[in-house]
Structure 1
Amino acid sequence: MNGHALHVLLEFAFFYPLAMSLVWMSGGLIYFMRWERKEPSRVKPPALSSYPMVSLIVPCHNEGEQVRETIAYLAGQTYPYFEIIAVNDGSTDDTGEQLDELMKEYPELRVLHLASNQGKAMGLRAAALASKAEYLVCVDGDALLDPYATHWLVSHLIDSSRVGAVTGNPRIRNRSTLLGKLQVGEFSSIIGLIKRAQRVYGRIFTVSGVIAAFRKSALHDVGYWNTDMVTEDIDVSWRLQMRHWEIRYEPNALCWILMPETLRGLWKQRLRWAQGGSEVLLRYGLKLLRWRQRRMWVVAAEYLVSLLWSFDMATIVMLWFLGKFIDLPQEIRVDTLLPEWNGVVLGMICMGQFLISLLIDRRYEARIGRNYYWMIWYPLVYWMLTTATSICALPKAIFKRKGTRAVWTSPDRGLR
């Protein structure tokens, strides 16, 4: 490595997050001006031309502490015509017993029991095949679905026959620690803004696994969820769009979820997300080279460049660390990792991004602005975590044997 190569690494480390922040901000603002600003109040969704039956699907594995609340919120949907299908996927706690009791309380509830842990994808497939409806709304076992969420999601599926899936707007329930507060801002200023921008630019990287609606005929077209992918939501999103089904984002479809509030839990979750992204890139990368898949090129390129950025950052950190113990040549020496003028510029852009996203999100959570202070610390935490998980996840994805079943592991639900 020479001085010119180090200069390129440093420039890329700075300009990539800067460019992506500008892309996300511009796309988010375009989305807001084009669709969001004109929408009626969230508590009064527009009337639909028809109200076809919807299946509300919730796969469960060891969700005994949450499942009663989850089912109660599903049963409280304002949408007039739905059934609830809960899948007890080999739970070792009392989830199955609780679900059987809940059937007496909620006549619209059906329960499928799988004898052993088959994984979320298999649970979703079983429920989809048992469903009586063409439209499916899938949530996680700890999710509390907003009463109007089904209405908002189904409106897109009715609007166009080419819409294969709609992703909702997850909100964080647990906010008792710094990690919890940071994730409130993350889901608003990063995840929500990215989905808005991707909706504007044509393709969405992934539906949210905790809340998404699907057209069953679209799922049948792509073979439903793959059981050997660690993130079934990313995988099915790519396959739907590669078959030219449209995916939309609906910010009014709120869903309150639990997130990790320990470093260990957050690491495991983000490592799984990073591995899932790498898996779909490795599995479908060559297929995306076809001209027919050109609308997916931006999504794939964005993820590939983010991987390169992670390795770029790791190289810079490694050179700085080695320089503390080895007398490196001056042209490849990294003297400091502390922000200089470019770090200040990047920080200001990030805070501008956070401000824009929080102002937009006030429509859905009036007091979300009080989390703005905590976002000062977010760039450091997020970029460090992204770098580390991306680097560790890539070899896991490369050496994972195809066909290996992805089964449940009990996640960190945080503190409440």
Structure 2
Amino acid sequence: MCRLGRDVRRRSNRGRHAQSRDPRGHWLLLLLVLPVMFAALLFEGWTTHEVDAAKTKRDCTTPVPRAVEKGGPVVRIEGDRVRSAAMPARTVALTYDGGPDPVWTPRLLDLLRKHHAHATFFVRGAEAAQYPDLVRRIQADGHEIGSNTYTGAAMGSASALRAKLELTLTQKALAGSTGIHTGLLRLPLTTTVDTMCGAEWKAAQQAAKDGYTLVAADQWFRNPSQGLVRQLPQNDTAYKETERLLSNPKIENFTTVTAGTGLLSTEEPVPFLERWQGKALIWAKAAGHAFVSAMTWVLAIAGGLGVLRLLMLVFFARAHVRRLTHFQPGAPRLREVTAPVTVLVPAYNEEAGIESTVRSLLASTHQQLQIIVIDDGSTDDTADIATYIDDPRVLVIRQTNAGKAAALNTGLAHASHDIVVMVDADTVFESDAIHRLIQPLAHPAVGAVSGNTKVGNRRRLLGRWQHLEYVFGFNLDRRMFEVLECMPTVPGAIGAFRRDALMGVGGVSEDTLAEDTDLTMALWQAGWRVVYEETAIAWTEVPTSLRQLWRQRYRWCYGTLQAMWKHRRAVVGVGPAGRFGRRGLSYLALFQVALPLIAPVIDIVALYGALFLEPLQSVGVWLSFLALQLACAGYALRLDGEKVRALWAMPFQLFVYRQLMYLVVIQSVVAFLLGTRLKWHRMHRSGTAAQQIGQPVAYQSLTR
């Protein structure tokens, strides 16, 4: 006992020191990184898939002015005055729309260089930002660069804002790649000047106000010897047509649009600041493209892991059902456990629920109980309420505030019996829960037993979400862990232990914030087995606000990471420790750390697909995954004896609750990697754990 007391004090001091630092506000990092990531993704989707871009021109209601229709393909608009120009005889201006294309642009440039010819490339800003090296090569080879807008949208059908962005972003991309602006513009979806009619003519006039010269093309049947502007895409057909024209002996000069028409060069250098703005655009484009590409691979991994986890849970849950009789009272080779039990109830400011907890324990069918309430420096009526309960089986111990682990060790030092049950002070027990909980201890290799924790306050939506998580997540996991012999956590709400097993590992450690997980892992490493008793039911109170939920799960997740790191050597252990390490720790690392880190990609891809790709297909894939989850959750509810109608809340859970859990894991991992240590955050209690079984949910203050 003295040795245990010394260990307790040493662990308490070390634990308080380890937990003395506040979080460094890594959530600020998330608030900065996540919006940037989503902005890059949305920008990539908009530029690549032309969301909201007009892909067809409006029907012309008015023709172009007669002077334009009868003039040349190069048009300048100065107020009400329109001037046009054409190529001189035997001169051809080869113009290429779109791109730069990583396949055909280099081939066209090589072909032009071979024939010592120059051309005008009307690039799209999105491609220019994606392939800046090709834009620089176009410039370095002496060719002229014009704008074909950013995404190739029909400018006459675009909104004023969209039209402005189409031109401005293209200039930014050119500034970042080549350090120039261009004054040449070819309106997408237009060919000859007469196609710049109706809304396109209005767009042309607006562009002219910004200083652009509009470039169309001559009729395809015009004789090259008369001089022409030839419009070509960047593909195999354009390559062949370019090769044919370059071999035409009737053409003497292949030049750029401005050189052929005698206009002053429209390319002009940009200021230093604007050039760096353009580089930022190029980097954003590269980041978005890389993110989308990586997202495809991550989606496959996340989807595969998600489906694998669901299949594993169902498979091992069925296996667990088949072997339940191994630990039931009266089963072959197992005696019924009737030994006396010490129940430890650590409490800090738990006046709302402590009376319901203690009275539910006193109502237990297992009569040989010692109930120790350890008041950990409460500032409310917790200790007085527990003392007021007049029963010789209840012992109340008061101590200065030292934390839950220290309180449990204090109770353990006063325990009179060899079987110890640890419970939370907000938990209400079924009458037969303790008797059922201790039955697996009939097996001499079992050192601890996890009970079945259910949500009591589930009447509101947040409570229903947590109810589904407890049944579908925690309890289904525990069935699998028992079959695989790698139970990582005996929950603080309801767990039974051999006293000598607890003393063998030095009591409850304060090295981590997840003292229950840390203790369970220590028992495995000491050679004990840990099992799950589904029929031992306790009702717990869950957080009633998102803020409280965040704090609780943040502490759980962070503490679990601490415990995993502390017991990482179990993966190379032998016997029970090795099985737990290789199975339990690997599962936690893969499915409860890595998977939540990448699982948001599934939702992101669904949203991305609905916005930019095939909406029906994307939504169909997402709904299929939801249906699989609903089926597995329904199976879990049936195994736990719960009503399947609770599934109605699950689809809504995916939009808020699941995203919050993802953020919790991300924040916890960041905090853990950067060395932040968290302080204990107590959850506000309302004493509603027993809502589902009809017990009182509030207390009457003794001071009233």
TM range (shorter): 0.7 to 0.9
> For the structure 1 residues 334 and 272, does the alpha-carbon distance in structure 2 shift closer, same or farther, using more than 3 Å as the test?
farther
Q: How does 1:259-270 map onto structure 2 within 5 Å?
A: 259-270=542-553
Q: Does the CA contact (< 8 Å) of 1:179 and 1:262 recur in 2? A: yes
Corresponding residue of 1:24: 313
Q: How does 1:106-125 map onto structure 2 within 5 Å?
A: 106-115=391-400, 117-125=401-409
* Structure 1 residue 178 displacement after superposition: 0.6
* Structure 1 residue 5 displacement after superposition: 3.8
Corresponding residue of 2:452: 169
Task: Using CA pairs under 8 Å that are at least 6 residues apart, name the structure with larger relative contact order, 1 or 2.
Answer: 1
Q: How does 1:92-103 map onto structure 2 within 5 Å?
A: 92-102=379-389
Q: How does 1:79-98 map onto structure 2 within 5 Å?
A: 79-98=366-385
Q: How does 1:400-415 map onto structure 2 within 5 Å?
A: 400=675, 407=680, 409-411=682-684, 413=686
Inter-partner Cα distance in structure 2 for 1:334 and 1:36? 52
Number of aligned residue pairs: give it.
393
Inter-partner Cα distance in structure 2 for 1:381 and 1:319? 17
Corresponding residue of 1:215: 498
* Structure 1 residue 253 displacement after superposition: 0.6
Query: Could you tell me which amino acid in structure 2 is paired with residue 203 of structure 1?
Result: C
CA deviations 1:97-130 (Å, max 9, x no partner) are 222222xx11111111012x21111111110111
Inter-partner Cα distance in structure 1 for 2:650 and 2:500? 41
CA deviations 1:67-115 (Å, max 9, x no partner) are 111111111111131111000000011112222222xx11111111012
> For the structure 1 residues 316 and 35, does the alpha-carbon distance in structure 2 shift closer, same or farther, using more than 3 Å as the test?
closer
RMSD: 3.0
Q: Does the CA contact (< 8 Å) of 2:427 and 2:538 recur in 1? A: yes
Inter-partner Cα distance in structure 2 for 1:321 and 1:200? 38
> For the structure 1 residues 357 and 320, does the alpha-carbon distance in structure 2 shift closer, same or farther, using more than 3 Å as the test?
closer
Inter-partner Cα distance in structure 2 for 1:36 and 1:352? 26
Corresponding residue of 1:361: 640
* Structure 1 residue 223 displacement after superposition: 1.3
- 88-97 vs 274-283, which deviates more? 274-283
Q: Name the SS for the 2:396 alignment partner.
A: strand
- Confirm or deny that 1:310 pairs with 2:596: yes
Q: Name the SS for the 1:171 alignment partner.
A: strand
Inter-partner Cα distance in structure 2 for 1:407 and 1:271? 10
Q: Does the CA contact (< 8 Å) of 1:319 and 1:334 recur in 2? A: no
Quote the sequence identity (%).
25
Corresponding residue of 1:35: 324
Inter-partner Cα distance in structure 1 for 2:351 and 2:567? 37
Query: Could you tell me which amino acid in structure 2 is paired with residue 82 of structure 1?
Result: L
* Structure 1 residue 339 displacement after superposition: 4.8
* Structure 1 residue 6 displacement after superposition: 3.4
- Confirm or deny that 1:205 pairs with 2:470: no
Stretches of structure 2 that go unaligned for 5 or more consecutive residues are 1-289, 692-704
Inter-partner Cα distance in structure 1 for 2:459 and 2:496? 30
TM-score by length of 1: 0.85
* Structure 1 residue 141 displacement after superposition: 0.5
Query: Could you tell me which amino acid in structure 1 is paired with residue 456 of structure 2?
Result: R
Q: Does the CA contact (< 8 Å) of 1:174 and 1:258 recur in 2? A: yes
* Structure 1 residue 396 displacement after superposition: 2.7
* Structure 1 residue 335 displacement after superposition: 9.3
Query: Could you tell me which amino acid in structure 1 is paired with residue 597 of structure 2?
Result: F
- Confirm or deny that 1:138 pairs with 2:422: yes
* Structure 1 residue 13 displacement after superposition: 1.9
Stretches of structure 1 that go unaligned for 5 or more consecutive residues are 42-46, 324-332
> For the structure 1 residues 382 and 246, does the alpha-carbon distance in structure 2 shift closer, same or farther, using more than 3 Å as the test?
farther
* Structure 1 residue 267 displacement after superposition: 1.1
> For the structure 1 residues 317 and 336, does the alpha-carbon distance in structure 2 shift closer, same or farther, using more than 3 Å as the test?
farther
* Structure 1 residue 344 displacement after superposition: 2.6
Inter-partner Cα distance in structure 1 for 2:326 and 2:529? 22
Corresponding residue of 1:294: 578
Q: Does the CA contact (< 8 Å) of 2:352 and 2:685 recur in 1? A: no
CA deviations 1:32-74 (Å, max 9, x no partner) are 1221699689xxxxx9545211101111100111111111111
Q: Name the SS for the 1:376 alignment partner.
A: helix
CA deviations 1:277-317 (Å, max 9, x no partner) are 21112222245334554312121112212322233245788
Q: Does the CA contact (< 8 Å) of 2:329 and 2:335 recur in 1? A: no
- 50-59 vs 307-316, which deviates more? 307-316
Q: Determine which structure has more spread, i.e. the larger CA radius of gyration.
A: 2
* Structure 1 residue 334 displacement after superposition: 9.2
Query: Could you tell me which amino acid in structure 2 is paired with residue 163 of structure 1?
Result: V
CA deviations 1:15-47 (Å, max 9, x no partner) are 111110110011111111221699689xxxxx9
> For the structure 1 residues 375 and 3, does the alpha-carbon distance in structure 2 shift closer, same or farther, using more than 3 Å as the test?
closer
- Confirm or deny that 1:233 pairs with 2:497: no
Inter-partner Cα distance in structure 2 for 1:68 and 1:93? 13
